[in-house]
Amino acid sequence: MLNKEITIKTIYQKIQDNDLQDLHNREIVLKGFVRNNRCLGQVGFLSVNDGSCFLNAQVVYKVKDEKITSIRLGSTVIVKGRINLTIGGYQPFEIESEEVILVSQTNENYPLQKKKTSFDFLRTIPTLRMKTNTFNAVFRVRDSLSYNIHRYFHENGYVWIHTPIITANDCEGEGQTFQVVADSKHPEEYFNKDNVHLTVSGQLHVEPFALTYQRVYTFGPTFRAEKSNTTRHAAEFWMIEPEVAWCDMEGIMDIEEDFLKFVVREVRKECPQDFEFFYQRVDKDLKKRLDDFENKKFARVKYSDAINILKEAKKTHKFEVDDIEFGLDLGSEHERYLTEEVFKGPIFLTDYPKDIKAFYMKMNDDNKTVRGVDLLVPTIGELCGGSEREDSYDKLLGRMNELKMNIPAYEWYLDLRKNGSAPHSGFGLGFERMMMLLTGMTNIRDTLPYPRCYKDMLY
C-alpha cells in the first residue's frame, strides 16, 4: 500500500513545480500541531503546521463534529483527508478532512494564543518558543546557514578541522575565559596544566593545519566570559574560522566577501517563505539591506582614515566616547556610525594599531600598525575579525615578550614558525551575529536555541 504521509513542504514544492496531477484529490495523512482553529457557519478550519516549512496547511472540517471544534491551539493531531487544489485562491490548496485524530489536547492556559507575545516572554518558555512563526523561521534559517557555510567551504576545497573546546591557550589574550576544573578540583590535578579553560577561538589550533592543507576552517562553539550584558554578546556562541596559507590580508578580504555573499544568497534561496515573513514582520528594511549586501562591493578603509572621519564627524555628531585619537579601540557606536552613516554598507576596516589587537597579527613596516581587518556591517557593528598572521618566529616571540605572555604555554604554537612557516591569514565569523544580519532579529539571544549570556541563563 502507498504510504499516504506527505509533508506540507512537499505539497508546496509540487505546486511550485506545477506537478499538479500528482496532488489533485490525493489521499494523504498529515501529522502536526494546531496553529489556529476557527468556524465559519457549517465549516471549520484547522491550521496545521508539520514543521517541514514555514507555512501551514488549512484543513477543512464539518462543524457538526464537536470533537474537532474544541481542539485548542498547540494540540497535536493526525489528519486523514484529501488534497483540494485551490490555485489562485488565498492559499493554493486545502485538505478536506475525512478524520481528525486528536493526539494530545493542550491546557486551557496554553501560553501561545493568537495575540502577539514578546520575544523576552518567549525566552521563558523554551519548549514552545520554536512553535511561533518568528522562531520557527529563525531556527530553520539557522540550520540553512550552517549547511551553506559548510557547502561553501567544501565546494572550494577547504578541510573542516575539529579544534578542541578544552585548551590551555587564550587566543585573543583578553583573559575572558571560563575555567575548566575536574570535579571541583584544581585543573592541575587532571590535566597537569595550570590554567585550563574553554576555548575562545579555534584559530591557534587550526593554523598548523592550514600550513599542510592550505585551506581549512573550524566551525564550533566558543566561550567568552565577557562581563557585558549587550544584545550582541553571548557567553556561548558559534564561530567559523577559515585559515588560508599563501594568503595575505587583501586575499583574505576577497575570500571573506565572496563567502559571505554566497551564504546570504543561498540561504535566502533555500528559505523564501521564512524571509518573506522577516521582511514583512520583523524588519521593513531587511530586504534592501540584504540585497545591498549581496550586490554592492564592500568598502575597504584604513583604521587611521576612519579615525580622521570620526574626528570630523564629532563636530556634528554626539558620541558617548568622544576622545577620538589614533589608538582608540572603536566602540560599537563608532563602528555603526562608519558603516551606517558614512559608507552606508559593509566596510573592511584595516591596519589597526598593534596595541588594540591580538599578539598574532602581522606587523606592518611602520612597527605601529598590524595587518588586522574587522568587517563592520549596518545595525550590528563587528561581524568578523581577522588578520594576516605574523609568520616570522623572531617577530612573534618579540611581540609575545612585549605583552608579557606566558611563553611556555605557547611553545607548541611558536614551533610552527620554525618548521615550515608560510604566509597565512584567516578570520572569525560570529555565527549568531550573521544570524542577526540575515533575520533582522536585534537581540543575539533570539538567534540561539538556548541562549547563555552574562547574568542571564534561564534553563
For the CB of residue 358, give the shortest distance to Mg ion in the complex, in Å: 8
Rounded CA-CA distance 78/102 in Å is 7
Residue 386 binds what, of ligand 4AD, Mg ion, none (CB under 5 to 8 Å, by partner type)? ligand 4AD
By CB under 6 A, is residue 428 in contact with ligand 4AD? Answer: yes
For the CB of residue 245, give the shortest distance to ligand 4AD in the complex, in Å: 14
Contacts of 308 (CB under 8 A, 6+ apart): none
HEC per residue, 171-224: CCCCCCCCECCCCCCCCHHHHCCCCCEECCCCHHHHHHHHHHHCEEEEEEEEEC
For the CB of residue 171, give the shortest distance to ligand 4AD in the complex, in Å: 5
Nearer to Mg ion, 93 or 352 (CB): 352
For the CB of residue 178, give the shortest distance to ligand 4AD in the complex, in Å: 12
Residue 433 binds what, of ligand 4AD, Mg ion, none (CB under 5 to 8 Å, by partner type)? ligand 4AD
Among 32, 44, 208, 386, binds ligand 4AD (CB under 6 A): 386
Which spans in 299-418 are helix H?
Answer: 303-313, 332-336, 393-402, 407-414
46: helix, strand or coil: strand
Long-range contacts of 39-46 (CB under 8 A, 24+ apart): 39/63, 39/69, 44/68, 44/69, 46/71, 46/77, 46/79, 46/97, 46/100
For the CB of residue 43, give the shortest distance to Mg ion in the complex, in Å: 57
8: helix, strand or coil: helix
> What is the CB neighbour count within 10 angstroms for residue 134?
21
Which amino acid belongs to residue 20? L
270: helix, strand or coil: helix
Could you say which residues in the range 193-232 bind ligand 4AD, by CB under 6 A? 201, 203, 224, 226
By CB under 6 A, is residue 303 in contact with ligand 4AD? Answer: no
Long-range contacts of 416-421 (CB under 8 A, 24+ apart): 416/207, 416/208, 416/211, 417/390, 417/391, 417/392, 417/393, 418/393, 420/211, 421/211, 421/391, 421/392, 421/393
Among 32, 242, 385, 430, binds Mg ion (CB under 5 A): 385
* Contact range with ligand 4AD by CB under 6 A, out of 2-10, 16-24, 290-298, 381-389: 381-389
Among 241, 274, 351, 390, binds ligand 4AD (CB under 6 A): 241
Among 32, 426, 440, 451, binds ligand 4AD (CB under 6 A): 426
By CB under 6 A, is residue 433 in contact with ligand 4AD? Answer: yes
- Count H helices, E strands: the chain? 14, 15
Nearer to ligand 4AD, 38 or 227 (CB): 227
By CB under 5 A, is residue 426 in contact with Mg ion? Answer: no
Nearer to Mg ion, 378 or 385 (CB): 385
Rounded CA-CA distance 298/373 in Å is 13
Residue 237 binds what, of ligand 4AD, Mg ion, none (CB under 5 to 8 Å, by partner type)? ligand 4AD
By CB under 6 A, is residue 144 in contact with ligand 4AD? Answer: no
Rounded CA-CA distance 183/179 in Å is 12
* Helices 407-414, 203-213: crossing angle, 10 deg rounding: 20
Contact assessment for residue 279 and residue 260, using Cβ atoms and an 8 Å cutoff:
no
By CB under 5 A, is residue 430 in contact with Mg ion? Answer: no
* Contact range with Mg ion by CB under 5 A, out of 87-95, 198-206, 318-326, 379-387: 379-387
Nearer to Mg ion, 385 or 426 (CB): 385
Give me the DSSP letters along 429-447: EEHHHHHHHHH---SGGGG
Residue 430 binds what, of Mg ion, ligand 4AD, none (CB under 5 to 8 Å, by partner type)? ligand 4AD
Residue 234 binds what, of Mg ion, ligand 4AD, none (CB under 5 to 8 Å, by partner type)? ligand 4AD
By CB under 5 A, is residue 32 in contact with Mg ion? Answer: no
For the CB of residue 297, give the shortest distance to ligand 4AD in the complex, in Å: 20
For ligand 4AD (CB under 6 A), the number of binding residues is 23
For the CB of residue 425, give the shortest distance to ligand 4AD in the complex, in Å: 8
CA distances to 78, 237, 255, 270 from 153, rounded to whole Å, are 41, 20, 11, 18
For the CB of residue 219, give the shortest distance to ligand 4AD in the complex, in Å: 12
Rounded CA-CA distance 457/304 in Å is 39
Nearer to ligand 4AD, 278 or 427 (CB): 427
Contact assessment for residue 234 and residue 432, using Cβ atoms and an 8 Å cutoff:
yes
Rounded CA-CA distance 143/266 in Å is 12
For the CB of residue 355, give the shortest distance to ligand 4AD in the complex, in Å: 16
Nearer to ligand 4AD, 253 or 444 (CB): 444
* Residues in contact with ligand 4AD by the rule CB under 6 A: 171-172, 201, 203, 224, 226, 233-234, 237, 239, 241, 382-386, 426-428, 430, 432-433, 444
What residues make contact with Mg ion under the rule CB under 5 A? Answer: 385
